[in-house]
Structures are given as C-alpha cells and as structure tokens.
Amino acid sequence: MTLKDIHTQFPILNKPIRGKRLAYLDNAATTQKPKSVIDSLTRYYSEINANTHRGVHYLSEQATFQYEQTRQTVKQFINARDTRECVFVRSTTEAINLVADSFGKAYVKEGDEILISLMEHHSNIVPWQMLCQRAKAHLKIIPLNAQGELDLNALPSLLTHRTKLLALSHASNALGTLNPIQEIIHLAHQKDIPVLIDGAQSAPHLKIDVQALDCDFFTFSGHKVYGPTGIGVLYGKSQWLENMPPYQGGGDMILNVTIEKTIYNDIPYKFEAGTPAIAEVIALGTALHYLENIGFPLITQHENHLLTIATQALSEIPGIRLIGPTKDKIGVISFIMEGIHPHDIGTIVDQSGVAIRTGHHCAMPLMDFLGITATARASFGLYNTEEDIEQLVKALYEVKRLFKR
C-alpha cells in the first residue's frame, strides 16, 4: 500500500474551506477520520446498537463481541501481554487521572515524590499536582536543555528512594521532541521505580511495543490515531492494575454487591464502570486496523519526509524562528514570526484553507522556560502531502505581506 492519494479516503479533506483546498496541519490536536471509521460508527447504531456484557439477546451479544474484539486489537497494536492489561477510558487525560488517583491511593504517601518533565502537556502535570496535594507528596521536574530536550544528566539524582512514579511524554505535543524513553525506563527500573508513558503523540506515528519498552503504564487517545473522540486506552502491567483500587464505582466493575460491601470485578473491568463508549470502542478497532494495514514503517518514512521538507521551507522564510530544533522528533514544527502574534498567523493562514494550531498548546511551563507565550504549530499526519506544505508556505508569505515584515 502507498500513501499516494490516500486523502481521498478522508471525506472532510475533500471539503473546501473558505473556498480553498483544505491543508489540514493540526494533527497533533486531532486527526481526521477515514470513511471506514465513520462507517463503523454508523454501522453500530444502525445494525447492532445494544449494551455490552449484560444481555443474552442477539444484539447485546454482537455488541459485546465487537467491543471485546477491539480489546484484542489494542493488545496486538501495542503488543501487550494480555487483554487484561488494556483498559478502555475516555482519553489519555482520563487514563493519567485514573493512574494518579488509583495508583496514588495505593502507593503514594506523605513525603513521597512523583517525577515528571518540564515539557509535559497539562494532562500529565495537573493530575500529579492534585495527587501530591492530597497525599502531601512532592512533584519533581526533569529540566530541559536549550534545544528543548530532556537533561538526562540531571535524571539520576532525581530518581531517589522516595520516587514512587515517573510520568513522561513519549513525544512533546508542543515541540515534537521524541524522548529516549527506553533509556529512561531502564534507569528508573534500576531503582524499582515504575514508569507511565504518555503516548498520545507517539501512537499515531510510531510502532508501539510496550513489552520491548518495558513501561509500566502507557496511554493513548483514539482521536489522535484516526479514531473517534471520547475513547482512549490505558495499558498497565497486571501486577499494578490488580493492586490498584477502582477509579469509579457503578455497574460492570463489580462481581457482587450487598448493602454491606462490594466485591470488585477482575481487571480490566474493575476500571470500566458504567455503560462504555461502545460505538467509539468498536470504531477505534477499525482505526487501529487501518493503521496496521498501511504499516508504520511507511507512515514514519512519509511523515519524516514531510518534516524535512517543511523544516527547510520554513527556515528559508525571513523572520521565522523554529522553536525546539531537536533532530530526534515526530512531525511537529513550532515556530514564531518576528513581531506577529501566533493567533494572527493562524487566523490569516486559515483564510488560505490552512489549518494550524496556535497558543501555548497546554504546555505553559514549557513556554515559560522558552521565554515565549505561544507558538504557531504545524503537525503532520499520514494523509498530508508536499502540496499542503507549499500551501502553508504561501500562506505565511501572505502573513508577512499583510504585516509588511
């Protein structure tokens, strides 16, 4: 399979925006959906709509079968040992909150430490702040160097007997920096410290193997891997999940309930209270099959090619400064233009049909470190083309013309 003309499989990409061809370059925020994923959602509601796990009638059995088939698909997608280690959640954000709440209750006490980095998305900062406040624990930070890379020289001294968990993004949503997580996990495990990897930005671009990484937790969101919103995955080693208390109470996470007490269900169901996002889970399975059918070697090669071309093209525009120019990164380019606010950049290029993201990208501590308040960000997906980059560059020259810079 090639990626030539693959954009034709994504209905929204063939929709003109403001009378112009759409160049969608906001994939780090959310990806567009292929027709097969859209059809999967429609098929569920029109052909098998029923609740899972609780019915003996045909529709419920079909819904349950397809729901659990996706769990098997997720297991294969990330190479988990067992489907029991794959928990369905609403998003990466909920997955991290689940671990912060449940792992925190079981393992984090007063005086303990949680270690994160300065480049984290707010979703991998705020839950740990909340945990530390509740438990009277301390939040420690891995610093960055001038290139926007983790300062690994500082890491060994931060990993102490008080460190109960290291939570780290696989790749930065704001800079695209790809962290050396295998090396970091190895260092943490030498001191018996479990590691959570926020894979929201890596799962769409790289082949994930949680066994090879040996991470203790891994999270990703459906809407960033060409699937629906409202669904995500938490992978956790069974040894941790089995000893963590439930995150929420309700139906499906129980084995038996009396007025006096409740016996909780086995993993992963212990963490899946209530009616799940059934249609979204099934469509997530479709999206993951879609990616696997293309193959990550091809996806990675294609996106790296676009990143190289775009980096060169933007570097040649006078007045543009690239932010976080590290060599090891995913398809994300953050930049600023001299004397022009990023929001103005985004508004003007939108008139040319170019969709980019502007702002602090939910990474305000990182922006503070860099000494800026916001950037413009172009991020690539498997359906992007060199024509999209040309359209972006042309639109940026229009920004310069309007501001006469």
Report, as residue numbers or ranges, the catalytic residues: 362
User: How distant, in Å, are the alpha carbons of 21, 164, 231 from that of 138?
Assistant: 50, 10, 31
The angle that helices 296-315 and 386-403 make with each other, rounded to 10 degrees, is 30
R_g of the chain, CA atoms, integer Å? 22
- Could you tell me if 127 and 96 are in contact, meaning their C-beta atoms sit under 8 angstroms apart? yes
- Could you tell me if 219 and 196 are in contact, meaning their C-beta atoms sit under 8 angstroms apart? yes
Beta strands 320-323; 163-169: pairing state = unpaired
- Could you tell me if 311 and 389 are in contact, meaning their C-beta atoms sit under 8 angstroms apart? no
Phi, psi of 88 (to 5 degrees): -85, 130
Provide the token pair at 181. 């997580």
Full strand arrangement of the beta sheet holding 195-198: 86-89, 232-236, 217-221, 195-198, 163-169, 113-117, 138-142
H/E segment holding residue 66: helix 58-78
Nearest CA to 378 out of 357, 397, 396 is that of 357
